[in-house]
């Protein structure tokens, strides 16, 4: 209660979905890994299109709406998300142009990487400022918000490492420290972004959203606190310890090993917490978004198990692409799509019927969706992700492209369901809008207090 709808969250979601669909189109066409080496410019186009264009825009849009929910305080600024979105999209376009130039696809001069570094750093700085000021006003923070705070620090580290890479790619650099970080810092960049910014934030928000949507008890005990501290320790060891090792010109393997042990322990306890939420829920028949979130969590567990097996067989470096793919598309994308299905309906319902709540009868949130029509597409999505992961493990590029084609079809179908929800297309004709309610705009929410 008392939380304002974020005006531009739907625009973030739309831009994110377009990036996901474009990335899946490219993979289906055979662009980038595994048809090209994992460090090839073509693969870097795909990686950043998904990591920044899809996952980061999705998470930023969600955090602008739900950080105020986590702390029961308003967002510091409701006007900053629009320029933030413009800077991030423009920075992503410049970054992709730089990688396309490295691949020989285009020739536009030396400007893309410095411009991308400036635009993306500025955009993410606004994210850090807006969310950081919001969290700072609410100290001491509840546990889910502390996950988000650490994730924001990891975002800062990810952007700093990425900006360093961009400056080195842009032209001659004589700083030995910057050259050393560029040469050995890619694993730290990936782990800070995928593990710290994206996964740690998703873990924190999931504690609150899963409990809220399943009517389960809030978790604040010793085990979730252990998840937080073990995860924070793992990220600190990997990022700070890894950078220190690079600057000392020694291997970062010890930092990665210690961080992995702490991280695996945190994920094991997190899994136990989420299992408890599902068992302790008061809503006996859970909604589709929570059912599909369970499949995303299974994908996370599978990614961790795969890492352990590959380490035991000394094949992790050879199969790291399969691990990252499963984490990015099975865990993060699967969870993102599942929660989008609920969040879009929830925010649309609030915007449409919030002004008349308590004054007249209104539909339920679930009346805005038809779960039976969406369920097969979600199941097809996860099956195709798991099939694509298997294709990578067995080095079958054609099967990987075919699985990605199925992923693309499923994602498009899910996007159509989200569009229908936003347009109120699944409300029956016998349920007219009551006086005082209004049809939401597609990409912009009216910032009414709810």
Compute the distance between CA of residue 86 and CA of residue 237 in angstroms, rounded to an integer. 34
Q: How large is the average pLDDT for residues 249-258? A: 94
Give the phi and the psi of residue 318 in degrees, each rounded to 5.
-75, -30
Query: Does residue 364 carry a pLDDT above 90?
Result: no
Compute the distance between CA of residue 25 and CA of residue 145 in angstroms, rounded to an integer. 35
Burial 265-288 (b: 16+ CB within 10 A, else e): bbbebbbebbebbbeebeeeebbb
Q: How large is the average pLDDT for residues 222-247? A: 96
Q: What is the pLDDT of residue 429?
A: 58
Query: Does residue 84 carry a pLDDT above 60?
Result: yes
Query: Does residue 356 carry a pLDDT above 90?
Result: no
Tokens 């539909």 appear where?
363
Query: Does residue 441 carry a pLDDT above 50?
Result: yes
SS3 state at 322: helix
The CA-atom distances, in angstroms, between 269 and each of 228, 264, 429 are 10, 9, 47
- Per DSSP, the residues of 320-367 read HHHHHHIIIIIIIIHHHHHHHHHHHHHHHHHHHHGGGTTTS----GGG
Contact 132, 152 (CB under 8 A): yes
Compute the distance between CA of residue 348 and CA of residue 135 in angstroms, rounded to an integer. 25
22: how many CB neighbours lie within 10 A of its CB? Answer: 16
Q: What is the pLDDT of residue 435?
A: 76
Q: What is the pLDDT of residue 220?
A: 80
Q: How large is the average pLDDT for residues 174-198? A: 93
Q: What is the pLDDT of residue 431?
A: 62
Q: How large is the average pLDDT for residues 233-249? A: 96
pTM of the model: 0.95
Compute the distance between CA of residue 353 and CA of residue 436 in angstroms, rounded to an integer. 8
How does residue 64 score in pLDDT terms, banded at 50, 70 and 90? very high
Q: What is the pLDDT of residue 449?
A: 44
Q: How large is the average pLDDT for residues 306-311? A: 95
Segment 103-136, tens digit of pLDDT: 988 888 878 999 999 999 999 999 999 999 999 9
Compute the distance between CA of residue 199 and CA of residue 151 in angstroms, rounded to an integer. 8
Query: Does residue 29 carry a pLDDT above 90?
Result: yes
Q: What is the pLDDT of residue 219?
A: 81
Q: How large is the average pLDDT for residues 341-357? A: 89
How does residue 234 score in pLDDT terms, banded at 50, 70 and 90? very high
Q: What is the pLDDT of residue 448?
A: 57
How does residue 428 score in pLDDT terms, banded at 50, 70 and 90? low
Query: Does residue 450 carry a pLDDT above 50?
Result: no
Contact 426, 368 (CB under 8 A): yes
Q: How large is the average pLDDT for residues 238-246? A: 96
81 or 2, greater pLDDT: 81
Strand partners, 449: 4
Query: Does residue 244 carry a pLDDT above 70?
Result: yes
Q: What is the pLDDT of residue 283?
A: 81
The CA-atom distances, in angstroms, between 411 and each of 33, 265, 415 are 20, 32, 6
Q: What is the pLDDT of residue 430?
A: 57
Segment 285-297, tens digit of pLDDT: 899 999 999 999 9
What is the average pLDDT score of the chain? 92
Q: What is the pLDDT of residue 212?
A: 87
Give the phi and the psi of residue 203 in degrees, each rounded to 5.
-60, -45
How does residue 172 score in pLDDT terms, banded at 50, 70 and 90? confident
Compute the distance between CA of residue 55 and CA of residue 48 in angstroms, rounded to an integer. 10
Compute the distance between CA of residue 67 and CA of residue 254 in angstroms, rounded to an integer. 35
Inter-helix orientation angle 253-280/222-236, to 10°: 160
């Amino acid at each position: 209660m008392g939380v304002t709808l974020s005006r531009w969250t739907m625009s973030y979601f739309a831009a994110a979905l377009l990036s996901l669909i474009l990335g899946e189109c490219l993979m289906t066409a055979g662009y980038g890994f595994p048809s090209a080496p994992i460090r090839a410019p073509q693969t870097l186009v795909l990686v950043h299109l998904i990591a920044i264009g899809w996952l980061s825009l999705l998470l930023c849009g969600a955090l602008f709406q739900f950080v105020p929910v986590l702390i029961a305080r308003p967002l510091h600024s409701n006007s900053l998300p629009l320029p933030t979105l413009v800077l991030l999209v423009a920075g992503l376009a410049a970054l992709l142009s730089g990688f396309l130039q490295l691949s020989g696809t285009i020739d536009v001069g030396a400007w893309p990487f410095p411009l991308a570094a400036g635009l993306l750093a500025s955009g993410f700085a606004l994210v850090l400022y807006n969310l950081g000021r919001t969290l700072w006003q609410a100290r001491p923070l509840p546990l889910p918000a502390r996950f988000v705070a650490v994730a924001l620090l990891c975002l800062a580290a990810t952007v700093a490492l990425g900006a360093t890479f961009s400056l080195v790619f842009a032209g001659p650099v004589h700083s030995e420290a910057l050259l050393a970080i560029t040469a050995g810092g890619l694993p730290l960049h990936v782990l800070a972004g995928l593990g710290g910014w994206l996964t740690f934030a998703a873990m924190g928000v999931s504690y609150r959203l899963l409990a809220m949507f399943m009517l389960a008890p809030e978790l604040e005990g010793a085990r979730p606190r252990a998840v937080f501290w073990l995860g924070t320790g793992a990220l600190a060891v990997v990022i700070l310890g890894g950078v220190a090792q690079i600057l000392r010109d020694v291997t970062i393997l010890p930092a990665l090993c210690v961080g992995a042990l702490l991280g695996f322990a945190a994920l094991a306890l997190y899994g136990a917490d989420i299992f408890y939420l599902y068992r302790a829920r008061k809503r006996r028949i859970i909604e589709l978004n929570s059912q599909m979130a369970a499949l995303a969590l299974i994908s996370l567990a599978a990614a961790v198990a795969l890492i352990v097996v590959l380490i035991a067989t000394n094949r992790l470096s050879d199969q790291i692409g399969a691990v990252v793919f499963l984490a990015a598309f099975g865990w993060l994308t699967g969870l993102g799509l599942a929660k989008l299905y609920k969040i879009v309906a929830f925010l649309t319902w609030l915007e449409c019927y919030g002004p008349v709540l308590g004054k007249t009868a209104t539909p339920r949130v679930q009346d805005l969706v038809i779960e039976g029509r969406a369920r097969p597409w979600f199941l097809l999505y996860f099956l195709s992700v798991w099939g694509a992961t298997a294709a990578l493990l067995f080095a079958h590029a054609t099967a990987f492209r075919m699985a990605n084609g199925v992923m693309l079809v499923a994602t498009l179908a899910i996007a159509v369901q989200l569009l229908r929800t936003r347009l109120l297309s699944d409300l029956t004709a016998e349920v007219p809008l009551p006086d005082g309610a209004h049809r939401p705009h597609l990409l912009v929410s009216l910032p009414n207090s709810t």
